[in-house]
Amino acid sequence: MILVHATLLAVRYLAAHPVRAVVLVLGLALALGMPAFTLLAADRLEETLMARAESSPVLIGHVGNEFDLTMSALYFRGEVRDPVPAGVADTVRERGYGVAVPLHTGHSAGGGPLVGTTLDYFDQRGLVVAAGRRPAVLAEVVAGSKVAAEAGLKPGDHLRSDLTNLYNLAGSYPLVLQVVGVLEPTGTPDDGALFADVKTTWAIDGFLHGHTAVTQDNALPIEGTVPSEPGEQENLEATAAIFLETEVTAETLATFHLHGDPGELGVTAVLVWPKDDRARDQLLGDEALEEVTRAVRPVEVVRTVLGIVLQVRDGLVAWFGLVAASTLAFVALVLSLSLRLRHAELTLIRRIGAARGTVTLLVGVEITLVLVVALAVAAAATAGGMALLEGWIQG
């Protein structure tokens, strides 16, 4: 009964002094919530990054690019300066090491990265088409769930690839892409990307293109000549750069042709799913002897990066510990000053018959209520922050 009365008095006192109560609650909630959120968020991000790396056993790229290679091939962030021949994937398959798919990143369209690959990528990643179908011919793409939602894409829509080099007249022309499918959400970077056949990204590079037929209407004027009469034969002059096709249709598809050997054209990386551990180790050993290419295990690369991130996290936790200690000292100071200001009030309570233990209980209940509410606020804020983080991760 005494506890009930003490609680009632404590609640009424805190309600009568809302500013002090709010300051104490928010200060304690911040001191308790920030370290908790930092630890939970770091663990969740580590789990997400490691899950992606663990699902990508081996990456083959140019020597010396392991960090850029991993970020570009797994998370579609950044660029790789030196490509590798696409024929590396054929070599891996011919040697029986496992499934190997080329990845061509660096282009973008519709607000998301454009990834050139093969249909094996869909099978190995478990990507399921929610609407439409997979890409079948040049310039067809399927959109991840996130980029499709953000750009409002659906099967049948068209979009242009982004221009990567304004001054490159030999390639990098914006290509009209047709959306033929939208993928189901996976909670991975694949949700924010567009996927096409690797030949589509080569077309954007300029290695594969079609030419518009040169006619009298679009030919360049030849200095010193006069227009011919209708029906007369004449020489027509044009430049291939001006009359490159920028859209693949049933009529223009036959005009597209590849310049160079497909096995020699560059890709960002080759992603390999070895058939077993022995094949993985043999592949790593063989690539270690190569002069131009190198095989890396994304798990090890990501773990190295996370080691740096975790050091930062530990530093933040230590900093938040100092903040928490200073906050607790501030709370103790506020409570001490409050007790001094309430000296007359507490003396009156004792004079009307309350025992010393009752006064102590009253003050203890007030502190406990503030702490409980602060814990609730910190828990709610942490849960809200984790929900936002999860939404960002899931796309």
What does the block give as tokens for 93?
């398959």
The rounded mean pLDDT for the chain is 80
Point out the domain boundary residue: 254, 272, 295: 295
Residue 366 in this model has a pLDDT that exceeds 50: yes
Asked if 315 and 69 touch (Cβ cutoff 8 Å), the reply is no
Residue 222 has pLDDT above 60, yes or no: no
pTM over 0.85: no
CA count, 13 A, side-chain hemisphere, 13: 19
336 and 188 in a common domain = no
User: Whose structure tokens read 């953000």?
Assistant: 150
**Percent of the chain at pLDDT above 90?**
31
Q: Are 107 and 193 within one domain? A: yes
pLDDT of residue 241: 47
* 283-305 pLDDT tens trace: 999 888 888 889 999 999 888 88
Residues 6+ apart with CB under 8 A from 277: none
Task: Decide if pLDDT at 393 tops 70.
Answer: no
To the nearest 10°, report the CA torsion of 345, 350, 351, 355: 170
**Same-domain pairing of 326 and 359:** yes
Domains held by the chain: number: 2
Contacts by 64-67, CB closer than 8 A, 24 or more apart: 64/294, 66/294, 66/296, 66/301, 67/301, 67/305
What is the C-alpha to C-alpha distance for residues 53 and 62, in angstroms, rounded to an integer?
Answer: 19
pLDDT at 205 over 80: yes
Residue 331 lies inside a defined structural domain of this protein:
yes
**237 lies in a domain?**
no
pLDDT band at residue 94, thresholds of 50, 70 and 90?
A: very high
Range of the structural domain that residue 251 is part of: 58-210+245-295
- Contact assessment for residue 246 and residue 173, using Cβ atoms and an 8 Å cutoff: yes
Per the CB < 8 A criterion, the answer to whether 104 and 198 are in contact is yes
* Same domain assignment for residues 188 and 77: yes
CA distance 306 to 15: 47
Sign of torsion over alpha carbons 127, 132, 136, 139? negative
Q: Is residue 268 part of a domain?
A: yes
pLDDT band at 215 (very low <50, low <70, confident <90, very high): low
Query: Would residue 286 count as lying in a domain?
Result: yes
pLDDT tens figures, 227-283: 555 544 455 444 444 455 666 665 666 666 677 777 888 899 999 999 999 999 999
pLDDT tens column, 19-40 = 888 888 887 888 788 888 888 8
How far apart are alpha carbons 52 and 55 in whole angstroms? 5
Residues 64 and 102 in one domain: yes
* pLDDT higher than 60, residue 217: no
Read off φ and ψ for residue 296, nearest 5 degrees: -130, 155
- Residue percentage of the chain with pLDDT more than 70: 77
Instruction: Give me the half-sphere count of Cα atoms (radius 13 Å) on the Cβ side of residue 257.
Output: 5
- Mean pLDDT on 176-195: 92
- Spatial neighbors of 300 by CB under 8 A, at least 6 apart, are none
* DSSP secondary structure, 88-125, as one string: HHHHHHHTT-EEEEEEEEEEEETTEEEEEE-HHHHHHH
Residue 199 exposed, middle or buried by CB count within 10 Å (0-12, 13-18, 19+):
buried
Rounded CA gap, 198 and 180, in Å? 16
At 204 the pLDDT is: 86
Task: Tell me: do 110 and 35 sit in the same domain.
Answer: no
Higher pLDDT, 76 or 350: 76
Residue 275 CA to chain centroid, in angstroms?
28
Residue 301 maps to a domain: no
CA–centroid distance for 240 within its chain: 38
